[in-house]
Amino acid sequence: MSQTQNQKNQKPNEVSSDLQERVNRNQYIIDGLRDNGAWVKVIEDVEQQRKRLDDRWQYVSDPAKMNEFRITKMAVMKVINLLSDYEFDMKQAQEVLSKINNTETNIPADVDN
């Protein structure tokens, strides 16, 4: 069951609790990684790996090897974008949480019409 479908089956306070937990978890991860010297070095290394892949793909003629390059590049990009992915997920959860908590300003759709 998808996260959205699961949220539809939950009570509003359970959804709020789950969203707040998600926001808190993401914020903890972001705070832990953003200024972590070791993480910065890992990202530098991964960026170098990405550059090596980008510089060498045109010399690969073997389809299996090219597929390895493609898969490795996707993994490298996932690591590079990890922090921004957590930030995006946190922002999305905060927006939904804000809508739930500010019901006075959000008028629910009239399903009878």
Is residue 65 assigned to a domain? yes
CA distances 17 to 12, 14, 23, 29, 98, Å, are: 9, 5, 10, 18, 12
Mean pLDDT of 22-43: 95
Is residue 107 assigned to a domain? no
Domains: count for the chain: 1
Is residue 108 assigned to a domain? no
Which pLDDT value is given to residue 55? Answer: 94
| Distance between first and last Cα of the chain | 29
The label of the residue with tokens 């069951």 reads 1
- Would the pLDDT of 22 be above 90? yes
Q: How far apart are CA 113 and CA 110, in angstroms?
A: 6
Is residue 113 assigned to a domain? no
Mean pLDDT of 52-76: 94
pTM score of the predicted model = 0.73
Mean pLDDT of 80-109: 86
Domain that holds residue 62: 11-101
- Would the pLDDT of 106 be above 60? no
47-54 CB contacts, 8 Å cutoff, 24+ apart: 47/80, 49/76, 50/76, 50/77, 50/80
Percent of the chain with pLDDT over 90: 69
Which pLDDT value is given to residue 8? Answer: 55
